Amino acid sequence: MATVSTGLPLGGVAVQKEESAADQVSQWTLMRWRFMQNRLSVGALVVLILMYLTAAVAPFLSPNDYNELDTDHAFAAPTRIKLVHGWPSVCPLTQTLDPDHFKWVYEADCERAVPIRLFVHGAKHRLLGLIPTDVHLFGVVDVPPPAEAAPSASKTAAKDSVASLLAGLGGQNVAGAASAQAETKAEKPPRLFFFGADQQGRDLFSRVLEGSRVSLTIGIVGVIFSLIIGSLLGAFSGYMGGVVDNAIQRTIEIIRAVPTLPLWAAFAAALPRTTTVTQRYLLITIVLSLVGWTGLARELRGKVLAYRALDYIAAARLAGSSHLRIVLSHMLPNAASHIIVIATLAVPYSILGETSLSFLGLGMLPPAVSWGVLLRDTQQIQSVLIHPWMLLPAVPVILAVACFFLLGDGLRDAIDPYS
């Protein structure tokens, strides 16, 4: 920008170059650059990307089928990984009943430790939903059962009575499944349960991975729905002003006058209960966004009101643009950066919403798996006291929510460093 006579020595030229470079970079580059300065937010972004990638290939990363029942490992604790010959291996467990506490007790038999293998064959799945395969990144492979390991009849009988005892304690499925399997199956192969197993012996780690597909996407899909409603109505409200603005604003105020969770719950309770998993998923996202759009609309309206005062809108109006065109082609793009920030900060609330609803039994319902559905098992506080790993599905919830907050924060600082 400065035009200074030529022949300046180096110092002056250097000053010039820096200056013009700073002038030419676009708004977006500047924002990106400011965002990159914020280590914590960048870290959060990386974690989130990893989480979504993980969710995308969840079956591939799961060592077990998330729905596979295994009563021999009901409430098995997280598997201890032992190094055998320098290689991580899993010790098979044998199940016995502690009759004093009505509780399964497991003993590890590390004589027969089995190594964890990479790229093992297991349950069939579709990689990224496309490529059919049965390869999993890691897992343990069944070893051929030792010859003398067939279970004795007495043991089976004992197990049956125990199973029916346990069934009385709330494990309804245990009895039937246990007796059925005890007869057909020989010695149980070692299983890999990073996060332990649930009441029906399902691998919690695989279930958390599977649950992330619902929980992580429902947040984003919910926010996208909210965004569509919120940004259209919000921008429209701010731009039109007058009666339209008033009507939309009053509606928002009334919706916001109802506490969020009770309202969500009322909506969710009104949903039909006999739907497929996919239908339920969509309905829940709609429930979340029916309440969520108000916040977005309100913030956007504020931004539009500020933008409306700007000259170029007046210029566009003079040039004869229609109202809708002005809203769509001038205002929304201008508000884009703000929309991104607001949306990012709305995602964690959506995730928490789904988790809470499912936890209450009003959101996703079994057999669908989501983090909230998994956490529903923790409502039996006595069970949590004995099997604390049941709380592990909370970890990804907290992680995802915290990362979205951090990311939103960083983005906001990047687009508007002075606020």
For other proteins, the binding residues (CB under 8 A) are 1-4, 7-9, 11-12, 14-16, 18-19, 22, 37, 253-254, 256-263, 265-267, 269-272, 348, 352, 355-356, 359-362, 375, 378-379, 381, 384-385, 388, 391, 394, 397-399, 401-402, 405-406
Give the Cα separation of 115 and 378 in Å (integer): 32
Q: Which is nearer to other proteins, 1 or 318 (CB)?
A: 1
Give least dist CB 224 to other proteins, A.
21
Q: Which is nearer to other proteins, 182 or 390 (CB)?
A: 390
Q: Nearest 5°: phi and psi at 76?
A: -65, 140
Give the Cα separation of 198 and 202 in Å (integer): 5
Give the Cα separation of 288 and 376 in Å (integer): 19
Give least dist CB 258 to other proteins, A.
5
Mind giving me the DSSP string for 25-82? S-HHHHHHHHHHH-HHHHHHHHHHHHHHHHHHTHHHH-SS-TT---GGGTTPPPPPEE
Give least dist CB 208 to other proteins, A.
14
Angle at which helices 242-256 and 277-308 cross, to 10°: 130
Give least dist CB 23 to other proteins, A.
10
Give least dist CB 373 to other proteins, A.
13
Mind giving me the DSSP string for 171-185? -HHHHHHHHHHHHH-
| C-alpha 292 chain-centroid distance | 18
Q: Which is nearer to other proteins, 133 or 356 (CB)?
A: 356
- In this structure, are residues 355 and 284 in contact, taking their beta carbons and an 8 Å threshold? no
Q: Which is nearer to other proteins, 77 or 271 (CB)?
A: 271
Q: Which is nearer to other proteins, 248 or 331 (CB)?
A: 248
Give the Cα separation of 201 and 238 in Å (integer): 55
Q: Which is nearer to other proteins, 58 or 397 (CB)?
A: 397
Q: Which is nearer to other proteins, 259 or 367 (CB)?
A: 259
Give least dist CB 303 to other proteins, A.
18
Cβ contacts of residue 181 below 8 Å, gap of 6+? Answer: 70, 71, 72
Give the Cα separation of 332 and 313 in Å (integer): 12
Give least dist CB 98 to other proteins, A.
20
